[in-house]
Structure 1
Amino acid sequence: MVTALLQIFIVYMSGSVALLADTIHNFGDASTAIPLAIAFSLARRKPSKRFSYGYGRVEDLAGVIIVFLILFSAIVAGYESVTRFFSPQPIEHLQAVVVAGIIGCVGNELVAQFRMKVGKEIGSAALIADGYHARVDGFTSLAVLIGAAGIWLGYPMIDPLIGMLITVTILKIVFDTSKLVFTRLLDGVEPEVIDNVKIIAESVEGVCEVTDLRVRWIGHQLHAEINASVEPSLSVEEGHEIANAIREKLLENFFYLSGTTIHVDPLTASGESCHCGHKNLEKIRGKQKNILVAYSQ
């Protein structure tokens, strides 16, 4: 926000549309921190009877708001660039424009390093992505310097062209960010996380196999549901100890793991398919098939 405020003053002095696009982008980035801060604040609340998993999903909703804020900044920047392309205006105070570009580059890089550091510490993919987003913003500020150099060399049309280039960059960020946000909303998880959880769980002494595994993000916290098969001769107490050993080992390797649901099965009847009788399972599948046929008709 400090970077954007310094830049807007120079935009008023110089009339540079490339700098205006960069400034709008920085204002948009500053505003994205607001819903994210609210989400992190709500996520600290304890689970309730209505929200038994807590309020971590608010972070994903904040991600949707962030996507639309960035998209709005791209639309405004693009409109101003196209307008200036067809209605060119003289650019003044080129030295000030250069200073503003440098301010934007340095300011965004400092924010990028801070966001990525904190994101890695708390396991927030959204915050890490936001850090890379800020780093890209620093590169767009460098584009402003190219525009200023073009004007100085006698090519004033470079200024609105740089503004359009910045707009395209913002749209690319919108696309990448929306993929991350909507993947989380649909309980999508990186495949390597699933593989690592399975390897760690199966490495625990007494675990014969992990038959079923589901992992999902709730905000920046990870939740795992595991079906682990053990020797059928073990007692309930021994099975319980193995489940605790799985949980402890996962927590050692995934500091952002908030909870685990571990179901211990005998090796002779492992997996969720064994929790329901074959006759009942066929009935359920038959009902599902009838529902799908009726829906299609």
Structure 2
Amino acid sequence: MPTQQVRCKPRDDRKPVNSPREEARGKTGYAIMWTERQNQTRGLYSEIINRLTQNLVAGRDLRQPEERRRIAQIESWTSIAANIFIALIKAIFGLLTNSIALIADAVHSLSDVLSSAVIIIGFAIASRKPDHEHPHGHGRSEYMSGLIVAIMLIGAGVIFACSSYKRLTGGIYASPSIAAVAAVVGTILIKEFLYHFSIKLGHLIKSEALVGDAWHHRSDSLSSLLVLIALAGNILGIPSLDPYFGFIIAFFIIYTGFRIARNSTSLLLGSAPPEELQEEVVECARNISGVIDVHDLEIHDYGAKKVITLHIEVNQNMPLNEAHIIAHLVEDNINRRFHGETVVHIDPR
């Protein structure tokens, strides 16, 4: 194959040797390398979380109350152990460096154990069997635990805002300390892991309580990040960075708490199910031979359990016993798929 010869243009000393593209690459080369490393780290981090959570749920029916409780307990006990560990580390470094801020933050980490304890209690109540006073079970206690965690999250945001205001008006700023930086960085890493771990499990079992606990971890991570910003601000001669960022993050935490509280309250009050779920239930009924149409569908959510009522239309000339069998087939088909308690009414057509 003949080689292609490229003629080089004579060099013009008045122009830069590098092309504009090369110059841009040179200027942004470090930024591109940093972004690529961040993407690789984020991808590895996500892969670890995905593998860990998939191993926990592989081959299990997450619609069963026992499985939902198992996942909630794993998340909660992991959070409790991590928070106790973080509190001990902060307390030790706080005592060694005589840092009141670190000691106070250690107490705050211990208080985070309460939100995980609320989830354990809520799911334990939800897994109880139906009784005379609660014929459809206790599944909605999950939503109560989600609401309590949301209220705690809102409270954390308000405290965060008040603390930022006091720092801004009182001139209270963080003091640089290698021990403090080490403790804060460790807290951020652990809390970010807990956030991704908890929110992944929360989405898998569709639990507002676990999602709320995940955002509780994220709020702690952001508060620790503020300490780093404050230390950097002191070094750069801008000590007021900490409280201003604190107001922004406090608003974000409070907003997230209200959003989770709204979702939990809506479920407690019996909100309408998603249209996708309604369509799936109707499709399950129509798949049974002899069902002409479906109407008057109602779905009541009780945590992992769903109470479903619907009307099916069958041929008016069909024998009563045959229509009764079709109704039972529809009930069984829906119950198997949605772990529900289904009641079917027959209408002639």
TM superposition score category, shorter chain reference: 0.7 to 0.9
Unaligned runs of 5+ in 2: 1-82
Provide the secondary structure at the position in 1 that maps to 2:289: coil
Aligned counterpart, 1:157: 240
Query: Deviations along 1:70-95, whole A, 9 cap, x unmatched?
Result: 22222222212111111123422443
Aligned counterpart, 1:197: 281
Provide the secondary structure at the position in 1 that maps to 2:134: coil
Unaligned runs of 5+ in 1: 268-297
Aligned counterpart, 1:208: 292
Query: Deviations along 1:90-109, whole A, 9 cap, x unmatched?
Result: 42244334333333333233
Contact 1:47 1:53 in 2 (8 A): yes
Alignment partner of 2:345 out of 254, 263, 266: 263
Query: Deviations along 1:271-292, whole A, 9 cap, x unmatched?
Result: xxxxxxxxxxxxxxxxxxxxxx
Against the structure 1 CA distance between its residues 115 and 168, is the aligned structure 2 distance closer, same or farther, given a 3 Å change threshold? same
Query: Deviations along 1:143-177, whole A, 9 cap, x unmatched?
Result: 44333322322211112223223311210211211
Deviation of residue 264 (structure 1)? 2.4
Aligned counterpart, 1:89: 172
Deviation of residue 61 (structure 1)? 2.2
- Hey, what's the Cα distance between the residues in 2 that align with 1:241 and 1:110? 52
- Hey, what's the Cα distance between the residues in 2 that align with 1:238 and 1:143? 69
Against the structure 1 CA distance between its residues 221 and 101, is the aligned structure 2 distance closer, same or farther, given a 3 Å change threshold? farther
Against the structure 1 CA distance between its residues 142 and 81, is the aligned structure 2 distance closer, same or farther, given a 3 Å change threshold? closer
* 1:103 matches 2:186: yes
- Hey, what's the Cα distance between the residues in 2 that align with 1:44 and 1:140? 35
Q: Amino acid of the residue matched to residue 258 of structure 1?
A: G
- Hey, what's the Cα distance between the residues in 1 that align with 2:168 and 2:130? 54
Contact 2:151 2:261 in 1 (8 A): no
Contact 1:112 1:135 in 2 (8 A): yes
Against the structure 1 CA distance between its residues 87 and 139, is the aligned structure 2 distance closer, same or farther, given a 3 Å change threshold? closer
Against the structure 1 CA distance between its residues 38 and 158, is the aligned structure 2 distance closer, same or farther, given a 3 Å change threshold? same
Deviation of residue 184 (structure 1)? 0.4
Provide the secondary structure at the position in 1 that maps to 2:122: helix
Query: Deviations along 1:201-259, whole A, 9 cap, x unmatched?
Result: 223322211111111221343222221212222333322332333334334543xx332
Alignment partner of 2:231 out of 148, 160, 169: 148
Contact 2:208 2:260 in 1 (8 A): no
Q: Amino acid of the residue matched to residue 36 of structure 1?
A: I
Provide the secondary structure at the position in 2 that maps to 1:152: helix
Aligned counterpart, 1:170: 253
Contact 2:125 2:138 in 1 (8 A): yes
- Hey, what's the Cα distance between the residues in 2 that align with 1:37 and 1:111? 16
Deviation of residue 36 (structure 1)? 1.8
Q: Amino acid of the residue matched to residue 260 of structure 1?
A: T
Aligned counterpart, 1:38: 121
Contact 1:63 1:126 in 2 (8 A): yes
Aligned counterpart, 1:183: 266
The equivalences for 1:131-142 within 5 A come to 131=214, 134-135=217-218, 138=221, 141-142=224-225
- Hey, what's the Cα distance between the residues in 2 that align with 1:32 and 1:110? 17
The alignment of Structure 1 onto Structure 2 pairs a total of residues equal to 263
Q: Please report the TM-score for the alignment, with normalisation by the length of structure 2.
A: 0.64
Provide the secondary structure at the position in 2 that maps to 1:213: strand
Q: Which moved more, 1:142-151 or 1:186-195?
A: 142-151
Against the structure 1 CA distance between its residues 143 and 217, is the aligned structure 2 distance closer, same or farther, given a 3 Å change threshold? farther
Against the structure 1 CA distance between its residues 120 and 86, is the aligned structure 2 distance closer, same or farther, given a 3 Å change threshold? closer
Q: Please report the TM-score for the alignment, with normalisation by the length of structure 1.
A: 0.74
* 1:57 matches 2:144: no
Contact 1:97 1:148 in 2 (8 A): no
